[in-house]
């Protein structure tokens, strides 16, 4: 009798636990698409680390004798819901290296990014989906960057960690539908662009929008950020993001003689268009495709590359020259993946 009673109690407890887990998963799914008055943590993300390589010997078709590519992508978010208040955090990181026999297996970067956004929103009306939101966004890279098309490219780097770095701080109105849709607009947003004087002293116009010899520049403008997440099914997810920034303080840059060395105005809107598709093929394998496009007036396209040791300029030979001033990055990764 005691054994029977114990079995019934254990069965009831297990059933209750399973029901609670099921309810929690259901609530979590609802919170991704609708705002609810509750207290909870909501999180999701993807991590993919991929590698591929090749080895050739006496291969008639020719090719790189030995090569290896390593690439990693992480995209995650963590939200804290406290009744009508929402604290939302997103982190995107990518890094990739390629190694080739013809260059002595010296690593060359194919991808490098750190992008973190934290927002805190207070709901204006319990019946509507609008929030007064404070936002902070930080962008930079992990390691030094080089212009690999230039002769003696490894003698001088073109960028580094915190060079450049962008810190945007804004207060504005946000339309939010769960954790999948967010449209934020701020008419007054401050942005600091940071860089080491090593880079800003290379050219008369400075670098990254920071004046010659300086380490930072302050900007004040309007900021728009729209984000949308589509859960195609339980194994496929698509994320897209559009950021626009107009600097009210933008003006032409002049050198010590008063000559204009770089032109700018508030109409030169900075654009960041980011897209990420992830497909969980199996329990352990994942494929990810990312496409990012950036337009920044402080990064003009130059059809020549300069040897940093001699200063001699030579024409560039690259397939994407038709894109002009638009910066574009496309990365495909297949490898070990984890979705949470």
Residue 32 has pLDDT above 70, yes or no: no
Mark whether 14 and 100 lie in a shared domain. no
pLDDT at 18: 31
Mark whether 12 and 141 lie in a shared domain. no
Higher pLDDT, 232 or 21: 232
Q: Which of 103-107, 135-139, 224-228 has the lowest mean pLDDT?
A: 103-107
pTM: 0.86
pLDDT at 56: 87
Higher pLDDT, 94 or 18: 94
The vertex-53 CA angle with 52 and 54, nearest 5°, equals: 145
Which domain does 20 fall in, by range?
1-31
Dig out the tokens for 336 from the structure. 């070990």
% of the chain with per-residue pLDDT over 90: 61
The vertex-250 CA angle with 244 and 252, nearest 5°, equals: 135
Instruction: Tell me the C-alpha to C-alpha distance, in Å, between residue 1 and each of 5, 13, 113, 149.
Output: 6, 18, 64, 82
Average pLDDT over residues 90-109: 94
CATH number of 153's domain: 2.40.230
Mark whether 16 and 147 lie in a shared domain. no
Mark whether 191 and 213 lie in a shared domain. yes
φ, ψ for residue 161 (rounded to 5)?
A: -60, 130
Per DSSP, the residues of 177-245 read ETTTEEEEEEEEEEEEEE--HHHHTSSTT-BTTBPTT-SEEEEEEEEEEEEEEEEEETTEEEEEEEEEE
Alpha-carbon dihedral sign for residues 6, 8, 9, 13: positive
pLDDT at 24: 45
pLDDT at 2: 39
Mark whether 214 and 231 lie in a shared domain. yes
Domains: count for the chain: 2
Mark whether 183 and 199 lie in a shared domain. yes
CB 112 within 8 A of CB 98: no
Mark whether 96 and 217 lie in a shared domain. yes
Average pLDDT over residues 152-167: 95
pLDDT at 208: 95
Q: Which of 24-28, 130-134, 140-144, 153-157 has the lowest mean pLDDT?
A: 24-28
The vertex-83 CA angle with 87 and 88, nearest 5°, equals: 15
Please classify residue 20 by burial: count the beta carbons closer than 10 Å to its beta carbon, then call 0-12 exposed, 13-18 middle and 19+ buried.
Answer: exposed
pLDDT band at 25 (very low <50, low <70, confident <90, very high): low
Dig out the tokens for 238 from the structure. 């698509």
Mark whether 25 and 110 lie in a shared domain. no
Give bridge partners of residue 238 from the DSSP assignment.
230, 277
Residue 52 has pLDDT above 80, yes or no: yes
pLDDT band at 283 (very low <50, low <70, confident <90, very high): confident
Higher pLDDT, 89 or 40: 89
Per the document, the length of the chain is: 340
Mark whether 151 and 106 lie in a shared domain. yes
pLDDT at 27: 52
Tell me the pLDDT tens digit for each residue of 205-216: 899 999 999 999
Instruction: Tell me the C-alpha to C-alpha distance, in Å, between residue 97 and each of 54, 66, 284, 290, 335.
Output: 15, 14, 22, 16, 15
pLDDT at 237: 94
């Amino acid at each position: 009798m005691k054994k029977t009673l114990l079995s019934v109690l254990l069965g009831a407890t297990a059933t209750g636990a399973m029901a609670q887990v099921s309810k929690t998963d259901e609530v979590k799914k609802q919170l991704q698409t609708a705002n609810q008055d509750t207290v909870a943590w909501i999180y999701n993300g993807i991590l993919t680390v991929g590698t591929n390589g090749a080895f050739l010997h006496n291969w008639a078709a020719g090719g790189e004798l030995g090569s290896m590519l390593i690439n990693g992508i992480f995209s995650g978010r963590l939200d804290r819901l406290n009744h009508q208040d929402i604290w939302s955090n997103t982190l995107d990181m990518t890094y990739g290296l390629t190694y080739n026999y013809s260059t002595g297996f010296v690593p060359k970067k194919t991808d490098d990014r750190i992008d973190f956004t934290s927002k805190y929103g207070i709901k204006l009306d319990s019946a509507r989906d609008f929030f007064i939101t404070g936002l902070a966004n930080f962008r930079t890279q992990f390691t030094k960057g080089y212009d690999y098309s230039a002769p003696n490219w490894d003698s001088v780097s073109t960028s580094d960690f915190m060079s450049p770095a962008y810190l945007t701080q804004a207060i504005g109105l946000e339309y939010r539908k769960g954790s999948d849709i967010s449209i934020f607009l701020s008419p007054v947003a401050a942005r600091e662009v940071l860089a080491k004087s090593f880079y800003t002293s290379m050219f008369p116009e400075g670098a990254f929008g920071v004046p010659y010899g300086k380490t930072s520049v302050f900007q004040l403008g309007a900021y728009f950020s729209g984000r949308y997440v589509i859960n195609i099914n339980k194994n496929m997810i698509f994320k897209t993001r559009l950021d626009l920034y107009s600097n009210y303080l933008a003006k032409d840059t002049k050198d010590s003689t008063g000559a204009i060395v770089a032109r700018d105005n508030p109409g030169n809107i900075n654009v960041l268009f980011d897209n990420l598709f992830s497909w969980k093929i199996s329990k352990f394998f994942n494929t990810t495709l990312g496409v990012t496009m950036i337009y920044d007036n402080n990064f003009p396209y130059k059809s020549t590359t300069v040897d940093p040791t001699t200063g001699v300029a030579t024409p560039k030979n690259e397939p994407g020259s038709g894109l002009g001033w638009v910066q574009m990055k496309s990365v495909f990764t297949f490898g070990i993946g984890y979705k949470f």
